[in-house]
Chains A and B, each alone.
Chain A
Amino acid sequence: MKIQVVLIGQFIPRLGFSEKAVKVPAPFTAGDLAARLGLGEVDKVISKNGQGIAGGEPLKDGDRVVIAPIFSGG
């Protein structure tokens, strides 16, 4: 299945892209996706549909997943 990955902040220079489609096998979780991108051990927040999700959250084809560093704001 295809997941649209959106990176925020310092993850962009770290991984070299801001948004792209990633092909993954099903079943696949948000945590699996972060690990695939090399962000498994990094502090981060993962969101889908405007809401934070846990690492164990299953993903489905066409999901748009946002991975951001942890920030507490301005």
Chain B
Amino acid sequence: MKGWTGNILRINLSNKIYKKETFTEEFAKKWIGGRGFALKILWDELKPGTDPLGPDNKLLVVQGPISGVPMPNSGKTIVAAKSPLTGTYGDGNIGSYITIQMRKAGYDIIIFEGKAPSPEYVFIEDDKVSFLSAKEIWGKGTFEAQDWLEKKYGKTAGILSIGQAGEKMVLYAIIRSMQGRSGGRPGIGAVMGSKNLKAIVVKGTKEIPLADSKAMRDRGRADLRKVGEMDKKARWSVQGTNAVLSWCNEMWALPVRNMRHSHHPDAWKLDGQRTSEARVATYGCPNCTMRCGIAILDKEGHESEIDYENVGMLGPNLEIFNLKQMASLNYLCDDFGMDTISGGSALSFYADAIDQGATTGDFKFGDAERAKELLRLIARREGIGDFLALGSLKMAKKIGKNSEAYAIQCKGLDLSAYNCKYVPGQALAFGTSAIGAHHKEAWIITYELTYSERGAYGRDKAQKVVELQRIRSSIFESLPICRFPWIELGWDLKNYSDYFNLATGSNWTLDDFTKRGDRIYALLKAFWTREHPDTDRTADYPPRIYFDPSIADKEGPAAGKHLEYDKYDALLDHYYDIRGWDKRGVPTRRTMESVGLAKEAEQLAKVAEVEEGTVA
């Protein structure tokens, strides 16, 4: 087998037994790598109803056939587990040297099982695995933990770690690497913490098996240069992702005040121009050609690495328009190892619930100092922080009083920083994202606001969402590789099938990827259904507040606009029809069979109703 190492390292933290296993080429070509591998393994190995924070959940670190090879932006690793936020499959991609080191150590997949008896970290050096005490870094933030590990193992060692939020199992804790990279929004850091696993360190010395090493090396060198030149010409990295903030504000699609508003006159204080001017450093992932990590100084003088999602959710969504204060909140989330999006959303939901009289408390929109205190309490799970650590949906379920309507989430995962109350296609993208509302799954807002009628609910929007979910799930999440050269600079998708073919000796076209994207998405939704057998189409609805006429903006192009249930349902019907899913949003047996999931359809039918469907 070329491209893939074909090796799985299975580590049981409870009894410290580890073993090397292999997977077949058939498995590799069916699931590609990254998300595809993780999803299939978790489907096969987790019993339905497994406690996400119990020892029976499994934490996976996964690579793919081009991981670790110097190609444009190929430094991504997938971390995956059953999510404590959504109760279904969850994952994230993270830029890290572990991508390179794991492949050099000879593994595509590492599976962590069980729970260490006391806080530990694991050091993997080629075939050897050491279980080491984490007492010197347990209780420390991710910056200090990374520093400590880098001093011990070197700056280019592959290191993943969690902060206090992961240790305390804050449900939206993430995993960190390289002092600035984060991944695993659906609480994958909490799963790592539940296993008493503070960090994973990998070093490898082996050759990565490639079908044509020389051709790949030559192509990688040339393409790294080309994409770098494209970025220089386009000047994308000048503002990075935060250029989107002023566009969202101008388009009235910005998250403001727990998304009750979609525009704010002070938003410019946090926009890409301001963050670019305040920049003190720029960071990126391994093999990056367009570094997006713009670091600015926060109020306390820390370097805080920001991108649009962080700024949107910790800035306007909390009505905090002081750049340094917003950067402080971002720094704290990073250091504690918690998701800035869900962290911002938990805080905005809390302020909103107090505003609405649904609960009591002393937090108000715009109060940056109190927001900092709350983040500290969340990370320690002390006092009100223990409640805020649950994330907006679970908080709303506890509060009641119709507060679930303004918990800005889908399937338990909070929306990224796009206000969709007058953007139905993007609302559909969030609603149908099978891991919960995540911008990495399908981002159609520029298509929708630029090339389509904004308020329309046409089939073209459902088609676009499906198309992007296919591409992102199969290429970007499963190779895995960063999507930015494609989405921001227009780097041709065919390059990615070329890389795959050079690595594996295959002759795949883009169609081969998108077919696997359909398989992956069907199994993602089957996973959700297996864990939620009574699921219905409301699981694919965006937050209910988007349908509420009373919160429509009072002025601007979105004045009086809100989503409408009957039209959204019609849009959802288009989506299900294109996918071959039933009216509840469950893949039919025929659809699953058509994408090579006959066995999985049988398994699903044992716990949930699966309609026969018709041949697509």
Contacts of A69 in B (CB 8 A): 234, 236, 243
Contacts of A74 in B (CB 8 A): 241, 244, 307-309, 416, 439-440, 443
Contacts of B114 in A (CB 8 A): none
Residue of B nearest to A71 (CB): B488
Q: Is the CB of A71 within 8 A of B439?
A: no
* Measured CA separation A47–B239 after assembly (Å): 20
Known A-B contacts: A69-B236, A74-B307. Give 4 more (CB < 8 A).
A9-B246, A10-B235, A13-B235, A47-B450
Interface string of A38-74 (1 = CB under 8 A from B): 0000010101011110000000000010101111111
| Residues of B contacting A: mostly | helix
Q: Which of A12, A43, A50, A52 contacts B273 (CB 8 A)?
A: A12
Q: Which of B251, B272, B443, B445 contacts A9 (CB 8 A)?
A: B272
Q: Is the CB of B243 within 8 A of A72?
A: no
* Measured CA separation A52–B455 after assembly (Å): 12
A3 at the interface (CB under 8 A from B): no
B290 to chain A, nearest CB (A): 12
Residue of A nearest to B253 (CB): A50
Q: Is the CB of B239 within 8 A of A10?
A: yes
Q: Is the CB of A72 within 8 A of B239?
A: no
A8 at the interface (CB under 8 A from B): yes
In the complex, how many residues of chain B place their beta carbon closer than 8 angstroms to a beta carbon of chain A? 40
A-B contact count (CB 8 A): 94
Could you jot down 19 A-B contacts, CB within 8 Å? A8-B246, A8-B272, A10-B236, A12-B239, A18-B273, A43-B490, A45-B446, A45-B450, A50-B250, A50-B251, A50-B422, A50-B557, A51-B453, A51-B454, A66-B250, A69-B243, A70-B490, A71-B488, A72-B447
> Which parts of B238-280 form the interface with A (CB within 8 Å)?
238-239, 241, 243-244, 246-247, 250-253, 268, 272-273
A36 at the interface (CB under 8 A from B): no
Q: Which of A10, A47, A52 contacts B238 (CB 8 A)?
A: A10
Q: Which of B247, B272, B416 contacts A66 (CB 8 A)?
A: B247
A13 to chain B, nearest CB (A): 6
A6 at the interface (CB under 8 A from B): yes
Give chain B's interface residues, CB within 8 Å of chain A.
234-236, 238-239, 241, 243-244, 246-247, 250-253, 268, 272-273, 307-309, 416, 422, 439-440, 443, 445-447, 449-451, 453-454, 486-488, 490, 556-558
Contacts of A45 in B (CB 8 A): 446, 450
Contacts of B253 in A (CB 8 A): 50
In the complex, how many residues of chain A place their beta carbon closer than 8 angstroms to a beta carbon of chain B? 24
Given the interface pairs A43-B490, A50-B556, A51-B557, the reply to whether A73 lies near B445 with Cβ below 8 Å is yes
Residue of B nearest to A9 (CB): B243
Contacts of A64 in B (CB 8 A): 250
A40 to chain B, nearest CB (A): 16
| Residue of B250, B268, B487, B488 with highest tally of chain A CB at under 10 A | B250
Q: Which of B238, B251, B416, B487 contacts A72 (CB 8 A)?
A: B487
Contacts of B247 in A (CB 8 A): 8-9, 66, 68, 71
